[in-house]
Structure formats: C-alpha cells, structure tokens
Amino acid sequence: MRKNAGFSLLESLIVVALIALLATLATSGGQSSLERVRVHQQRAALSKLLMLARATAITRASPVQVDRIDGQWWLLDARGAPLQTANAEHARWRGFRALPIQFSADGGASNGSLWFCVAPFEHARGLTLSRAGRLRRSTDRNHDGVHETGAGTAIDCAR
C-alpha cells in the first residue's frame, strides 16, 4: 500500500495561484489606502497651521502669513521670520490672490481654496479659507465619491 508523502503538483499550483491573487488584491487596495492616508495627514497638518496662523495674528495683534517655500508650508511673522512649518507637499493653493496667504491682526485672511492632490487623484480633498479666516473642509454633497468645492464643482486635480 502506498502512503501519501506530501502535496500533489496540482495542489501546490492552486496554493501558489491563490497567494498570487491575494497579493495582487492587497497591493492594489493598499495604494488607494495609502493615497487616502496621505491626503488626510496633509490636510490635517495644513489645517492646524492655518488655524495657528489666525490665532497668532489675533494674539499678537500683528499680521502673519503662510507661504509655500521649497515644498514646505511656513507660518511667518510680520518680519518674515519662520514660526512653524507643516509638511503638505501635495497641497495646491487656488486663491483669488497669489501666495502668501495673509492673515490680518483681526483674523481676516486671503480667501481661497487648498486642494490636496496625491496621484492617482481618486481621493482629492479640499479646504476653503474664508475672508474671516475660517476653514471649511470639502465634502461629497452629491454622494458620487468625489468631493466638491464651495461652488459645487468637483475638485479636479488634473487642471
């Protein structure tokens, strides 16, 4: 009588095929999750910096500005001295005025939007800065999976 000493070739091939399939699914889902995490972290970091800028301007009764310098976002005092930094390399300013973002002593600010676009742009998000210096996060109002600007148009990172 012959005893089974191990796995057959067919069983081994099925196991290898299943492992390859699971690895493919994990990798493709992981990229999307990584993009989502990067966008969330960068939006949170820049939100914190902008709220700090407004609070600093009010507390010091002196204007401050937020500017992008060498890929980093900086909070600068009235003399241009750096106070704080935030890493948000994928943030794009869409303002009515060019950078830097100005905060006046009463907390008012240059109004506009910041778009966070990490390739392949499936999870683009935005922040809207009002003239009063208040922040509002973008939302998906029509539930199509794409966040919209304050005007209701989709955030389009391709432009």
Ordered domains of the chain (ranges, CATH): 32-137 (3.55.40.10)
82 pLDDT band, cuts 50/70/90, is very high
pLDDT at 1 over 60: no
Best CA proximity match to 102, nearest among 84, 76, 128? 76
**pLDDT per residue as tens digits for the range 84-105:** 999 999 999 998 899 999 999 9
H-assigned helices in the chain: 9-60
Mean pLDDT of 14-20: 89
Q: What is the pTM of this model?
A: 0.78
Maximum Cα interatomic distance, the chain, rounded to a whole number of Å: 94
